[in-house]
């Protein structure tokens, strides 16, 4: 179906679909590694690009392509690629746009492994990086060096919920001929569309909100122009970070309810944040939808709503945080986020344990910070669970 000029929810359901010979209502799983050519000439035409079609699943596959087209449509990009994981997307972006001697600027409170991949692995190939507070666009511009090629933003950032101004930073970046990549995992295209704010590439861990059911790992990259898309595709095809058809099928199924899930969990998160903020045992709550969030206005401007991720610190620090995590009964004590179930975790000892303590503190990841991913259980039950757990603190 042609979903041009259709609304976001219509695109969620129908975008990327194609008709097959049976009139299948959903795109089936094309669980095949290779595709037979009609004859030698057709094989040659497919390889030369003269004819469009599938050759081999690492290069392209109908089930995966349907998902890629849907994601590109949702983010208002020209095209996208689906990958085996969010980290495959991160490594593909680094490999596509950074050469030996180049420099990248990135948000300090970024997803832990995104930073570790750069500082531990890409540094070995001579790529330099600066991790900084990207919430201040002037500071970002001041950090640009001769050899800077890429600005890699994560907003809201993991786990501090710090925001970066995508439009202003993209304007600065383009003045200096730099590319802007935005990890949009925490918002999903339902809440935020970085390409509409002039970013060049959107990155997703599909594992989180887009699939939304905590049952598959996946990643994606969406580009705002063909040249950028081509460079990323080339890396994926050579390095082999491609998705599998079965994975693509599951994500295509999960994404259909994205708008419903994200809106519902956002509405609940507002109540949870308000509850936590007034609790005497809580030191502070960071949630973009609270008036107390220093970037509430930016969140209201660049996001459709405030999302369902929040973090907070207990007055009793790390010890109190541990007691809380051991006392919750409804929320699962688990990493990951953006699923239908509420999840609680402790970044300093879990997702960001690999980042040095010094860098954690600099990035606002305090020892007692607890991250909460609000699911779509009943708001009263989630709050009641936190309430009984806080009584033990």
Ligand X SMILES: *Cc1c(COP(=O)(O)O)cnc(C)c1O
Q: Which residues bind ligand X (CB under 6 A)?
A: 85-87, 111, 114, 154, 158, 183, 185-186, 205, 207-208, 217, 219
Angle, helix 317-327 to helix 379-391, in steps of 10 degrees:
130
Q: Determine how many CB atoms are found less than 10 A away from the CB of residue 4.
A: 8
In the complex with ligand X, the residue whose CB is nearer, 111 or 131, is 111
Closest CA to 201 of 79, 337, 102: 79
| Active-site residue flag, 111 | yes
Interatomic CA distance for residues 154 and 86, integer angstroms: 13
In the complex with ligand X, the residue whose CB is nearer, 90 or 331, is 90
Q: Which residue is catalytic, options 183, 200, 305, 385?
A: 183
CB of 351 to ligand X, least distance (A): 8
What's the Rg (C-alpha) of the chain?
A: 21
Query: For residue 323, what is the enclosing H or E element?
Result: helix 317-327
In the complex with ligand X, the residue whose CB is nearer, 160 or 170, is 160
CB of 372 to ligand X, least distance (A): 14
- Pair 368, 317: CB distance under 8 Å: yes
In the complex with ligand X, the residue whose CB is nearer, 282 or 310, is 310
Name the residue number minimizing CB distance to ligand X.
Answer: 86
Token look-up 């998902």 returns: 67
| Active-site residue flag, 115 | no
| Active-site residue flag, 58 | yes
- Pair 115, 154: CB distance under 8 Å: no
Q: Which residue is catalytic, options 11, 70, 193, 208?
A: 208
Interatomic CA distance for residues 328 and 313, integer angstroms: 16
Q: Determine how many CB atoms are found less than 10 A away from the CB of residue 22.
A: 7
In the complex with ligand X, the residue whose CB is nearer, 217 or 248, is 217
Interatomic CA distance for residues 94 and 128, integer angstroms: 11
Name every residue whose Cβ is closer than 8 Å to that of residue 242 and which is 6 or more positions away in sequence.
57, 58, 59, 64, 81, 82, 83, 84, 236
CB of 326 to ligand X, least distance (A): 24
Question: Measured in whole angstroms, how far is the alpha carbon of residue 365 from the centre of its chain?
Answer: 19
Q: Which residue is catalytic, options 6, 17, 45, 58?
A: 58
Name every residue whose Cβ is closer than 8 Å to that of residue 25 and which is 6 or more positions away in sequence.
none
In the complex with ligand X, the residue whose CB is nearer, 13 or 335, is 335
CB of 35 to ligand X, least distance (A): 28
Q: Which residue is catalytic, options 30, 70, 102, 111?
A: 111
CB of 188 to ligand X, least distance (A): 11
CB of 90 to ligand X, least distance (A): 6
In the complex with ligand X, the residue whose CB is nearer, 194 or 282, is 194
CB of 217 to ligand X, least distance (A): 5
| Active-site residue flag, 244 | no
Name every residue whose Cβ is closer than 8 Å to that of residue 321 and which is 6 or more positions away in sequence.
313, 314, 346, 368, 369, 370
Supply the residues annotated as catalytic.
Answer: 58, 111, 183, 208
């Amino acid at each position: 179906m042609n979903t041009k000029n259709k609304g976001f929810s219509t695109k969620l359901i129908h975008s990327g679909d194609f008709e097959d010979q049976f009139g299948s209502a959903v795109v089936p799983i094309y669980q095949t590694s290779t595709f037979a050519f009609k004859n030698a000439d057709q094989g040659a035409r497919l390889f030369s690009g003269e004819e469009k079609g599938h050759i081999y699943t690492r290069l392209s596959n109908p089930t995966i392509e349907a998902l890629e087209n849907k994601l590109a449509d949702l983010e208002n990009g020209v095209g996208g690629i689906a990958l085996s994981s969010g980290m495959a997307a991160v490594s593909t972006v680094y490999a596509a746009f950074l050469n030996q001697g180049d420099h990248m600027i990135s948000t300090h409170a970024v997803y832990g492994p995104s930073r570790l991949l750069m500082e531990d692995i890409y540094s070995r190939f001579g790529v330099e990086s600066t991790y900084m507070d990207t919430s201040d666009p002037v500071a970002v511009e001041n950090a640009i060096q001769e050899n800077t090629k890429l600005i890699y933003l994560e907003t809201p950032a993991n786990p501090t919920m710090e925001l970066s101004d995508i439009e202003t930073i993209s304007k600065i970046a383009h003045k200096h001929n730099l590319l802007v990549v935005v990890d949009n995992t925490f918002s999903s295209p339902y809440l935020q569309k970085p390409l509409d704010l002039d970013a060049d590439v959107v990155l997703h861990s599909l594992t989180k909100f887009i699939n939304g059911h905590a049952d598959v790992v996946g990643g994606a990259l969406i580009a705002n122009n063909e040249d950028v898309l081509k460079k990323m595709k080339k890396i994926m095809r050579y390095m082999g970070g491609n998705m599998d058809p079965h994975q693509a099928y599951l994500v295509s199924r999960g994404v259909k309810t994205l708008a419903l899930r994200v809106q519902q969990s956002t509405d609940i998160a507002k109540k949870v944040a308000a509850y936590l903020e007034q609790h005497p045992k809580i030191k502070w709550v960071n949630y973009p939808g609270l008036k107390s969030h220093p970037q509430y206005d930016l969140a209201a401007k660049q996001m459709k709503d405030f999302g369902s991720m929040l973090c907070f610190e207990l007055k009793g620090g790390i010890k109190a945080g541990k007691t809380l995590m051991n006392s919750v009964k409804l929320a699962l004590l688990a990493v990951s986020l953006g699923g239908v179930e509420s999840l609680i975790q402790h970044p300093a000892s879990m997702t960001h344990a690999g980042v040095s303590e010094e860098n954690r503190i600099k990035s606002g990841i305090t020892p007692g910070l607890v991250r909460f991913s609000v699911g779509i259980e009943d708001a009263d039950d989630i709050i009641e669970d936190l309430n009984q757990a806080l009584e033990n603190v």
